[in-house]
Amino acid sequence: MANDTLAAATGIGPIVETVSGKLRGSLDNGIHIFKGVPYGASTAGHNRFRPPQPPPAWSDVREALAYRGRAWQLPGRPPRRPVLETLLGPADTTPETEDCLTLNLWTPGPGDGGTRPVMVWLHGGAFAYGSGNRAVTDGTNLAQRGDVVVVSVNHRLNIFGFLHLDDIAGAGWMHSGNAGMLDIVAALRWIHDNIAAFGGDPSNVTVFGESGGGGKVSVLLAMPAAKGLFHRAIIQSGAAIRVSTRERASALAAQALRELGLRGQECERLLEQPPERILAAIAPAVRAVGRSRWPLLDRYDFGPVVDGADLPQHPCDPDAPEIGDDIPMLVGGTREESAFFPMTRFGTAC
């Protein structure tokens, strides 16, 4: 109780120990908040396009008081219109970076021995843009009203998270087409290993997301590596029936390499390219490959791919995989979200 009194007076929360080191968060309206918590190492350099690696451990107390950077975003998107700033709150202005494997956490009671349900938010953005740092999805109110632990996740997006090089460059790149989804699996594994220290129950984890976030939930339900790391699922306005086939994903990757002046055997040179140059290859690659040859529901460019390993089949085509049969699920539309569409012709609500 003395720690809670001190935290309320100073706004600085108690110290919580994780498998990587100690964290100090903040306190707001009775909710303890930990922002910018690393669940993986930087994805720059040798880690680019490869499965997420554990974060380096630290010995001192790490301050978890502010959001860290977000993943590199799909270029060319127009700025959000002022009316959406009013409705959705300030946009995320953290820097775009490859050191983006972080999560944010809101809890009513770290270290109190609680076994609260855990709700893991996956942001929207068609696997191409978006952030877990947005003000509109701050977890304080949900954690307080529901007595739950809320977690939001940042992970690799677009070409950095979903460049399928396996069929072009060989087994050394076999996870590149689903790296962004493997990031989410790594975040769920971090939650499994650490959430009890934050007053959460690792055996009662719900993943939920809207739009592209709903697509991410759909894909998790078909990923063997995610089995056992979550126990309920909520898909809001974004169920993914199909994702990319190997054929389409390989065509996009091959065209992106051409735009970068590289051949398949030169994929190591991708590790040296500036992020902005790699991002610039997205639009011309998508234009060159086109959409007329592919099923309408394969709607994500540089999104998850049915590679036969990380993702053995489409989320729900021809049917849902058996590995998700024991997961209770809610699927539906987000009330009144279509009201945003007229306002997003020159911006985005996602």
Helix (H) or strand (E) holding 194: helix 179-194
By the 8 A CB rule, do 178 and 307 touch? yes
Predicted confidence band of residue 237 (pLDDT cuts 50, 70, 90) = confident
pLDDT score, position 37: 97
The DSSP bridge pattern shows strands 31-38 and 22-28 to be: antiparallel
Q: What is the pLDDT of residues 29-38, one digit of tens each?
A: 899 999 999 9
pLDDT score, position 239: 85
Helix (H) or strand (E) holding 161: helix 158-161
Residue 193: is it exposed, middle or buried by C-beta count within 10 angstroms (0-12/13-18/19+)?
A: middle
Q: What is the pLDDT of residues 305-348, one digit of tens each?
A: 999 999 999 998 888 888 888 999 998 887 776 665 555 544 44
Does this model's pTM top 0.75? My answer is yes
For residues 162-185, average pLDDT:
94
- Residue 350, pLDDT > 50, answer no
By the 8 A CB rule, do 79 and 3 touch? no
How far apart, in whole angstroms, are the C-alpha atoms of residue 14 and residue 31?
A: 11
What does the block give as tokens for 37?
């918590």
Q: What is the pLDDT of residues 32-65, one digit of tens each?
A: 999 999 999 999 999 999 999 999 999 999 999 9
Angle between helices 212-220 and 179-194 (to 10 degrees): 70
How far apart, in whole angstroms, are the C-alpha atoms of residue 211 and residue 42?
A: 27
Q: What is the pLDDT of residues 63-91, one digit of tens each?
A: 999 999 999 999 876 566 555 555 566 78
Superfamily of domain 2-242+309-344: Alpha/Beta hydrolase fold, catalytic domain (3.40.50.1820)
Closest Cα to residue 77, out of 153, 136, 131? Answer: 131
The residue with greater pLDDT, 335 or 268, is 268
Closest Cα to residue 112, out of 218, 200, 183? Answer: 200
How far apart, in whole angstroms, are the C-alpha atoms of residue 144 and residue 142?
A: 5
% of the chain beyond a pLDDT of 70: 86
How far apart, in whole angstroms, are the C-alpha atoms of residue 56 and residue 79?
A: 35
Give the least confident one: 99-103, 174-178, 265-269: 265-269
pLDDT score, position 13: 76
How far apart, in whole angstroms, are the C-alpha atoms of residue 284 and residue 205?
A: 40
